[in-house]
Homo-oligomer: A and B are copies of this chain.
Amino acid sequence: MTEHPNISSLTPSGALGPDETSSRGVAWVEGEYMPIEDARISILENGFTCSDCTYDVVGVWDGAFFRLDDHLDRLFQGCERLRIDPPAERAEVREMLFELVRRSGLRRSYVQVIVTRGVRHGGKKLDLRRLSPALYGYALPYMFILEPERHEVGVDLVVARTVTRIPPTALDPLVKNFHWGDFVRGQLEANERGGSCCLLTDGQGLVTEGAGYNVFALVDGTLHTPADWVLHGITRKVALEIAEEAGIPTAIGAVPVELLSRAEEIFVTSTAGGVMGAATLDGRPVGAGKEGPTTRRIRERYWELHYDPRHTEPVDYDGVSRSA
């Protein structure tokens, strides 16, 4: 694929506009909006002391939410799987998220929503069934796992040797969660080995996912991504849709490390940065050692979709929406 005519306008520029510098973020805690600096939760939150919660991250790009309903679907499914009664209706959560972004003034935002089982009462024996679920949210300036100016280079992936992914028998991977101890170990190992992003295996030679991202490998023209032991990422879903639209064959199944090591291209997907190619895997170049053409094609389409009304919902900032 050759140079996209309008790539510069579609690719995140990394530069902060005036609205980004005007706000470090806004949070919603216990029914009140506040600057992110003031957003605090009880030290007795079961979401903290038992990591007993689920969350989601939605992107706002140039004034519009991207695929918001997909994220809300997953949030509410997560509550159900954890057996947490949602503390608010879907419409209320939506309204809170829009209001967060509106108040922040951020045109490009990383929006997080968290549902916990609730706050413990100090000195009382814990009874999970008696807690009152809690809702929190915040909007921050948009974050990238890979800085936009490096998108044509790529991330440096490391398949962790010192840690494996928490298995589905212990923790439901379909519930987006804060149990990141394995990812933290993986990231520390990746950094030590000169990489920027870890990938964890299941301990049996199959690749799972990394610290907040899914992984794809292009092998003999087919795009492979793991089926099990992974979160069903929304960016993963969009990448699969784009591949289908583009006629790129996909295979959702077991992805051995060995398959990854002979991939023509590898990329990772996350709301925090979109579609990000891999330059290296365990220190060796992937393909030409930079973002490959198929990855680029999917990345560019991914950002194009952020301007497609079928995928976006504009935020009404002080009565002036993006289209105005």
A52 nearest CB neighbor, chain B only: B184
Interface string of A162-188 (1 = CB under 8 A from B): 011111011110000111111110011
- Report the separation of the CA atoms of residues A2 and B144 in the bound assembly, to the nearest whole angstrom: 67
Of A60-68, A85-93, A121-129, the one with at least 4 CB within 8 A of chain B: A121-129
Instruction: Give the contact stretch, choosing among A38-46, A239-247, A285-293.
Output: A38-46
For A29, the closest partner residue in chain B by CB is B43
Tell yes or no: A48 within 8 A of B by CB.
yes
A window 5-39: CB within 8 A of B: 24-25, 27, 29, 36-37, 39
The complex places the Cα of A24 from the Cα of B124 at a distance, in Å, of: 10
Q: Which of A135-143, A260-268, A276-284 contacts B (4 or more CB under 8 A)?
A: A135-143
Closest B-chain residue to A43, C-beta based? B39
Q: Which residues of A contact B (CB under 8 A)?
A: 24-25, 27, 29, 36-37, 39-45, 47-52, 82-83, 110, 114, 117, 122-125, 128-129, 136, 138, 140-145, 147, 163-167, 169-172, 177-184, 187-188, 191, 203
Inter-chain pairs besides A39-B42, A51-B51, A170-B170, 11 sampled, C-beta below 8 Å? A24-B122, A43-B114, A50-B181, A51-B178, A52-B181, A82-B184, A123-B141, A125-B147, A171-B182, A172-B181, A179-B181
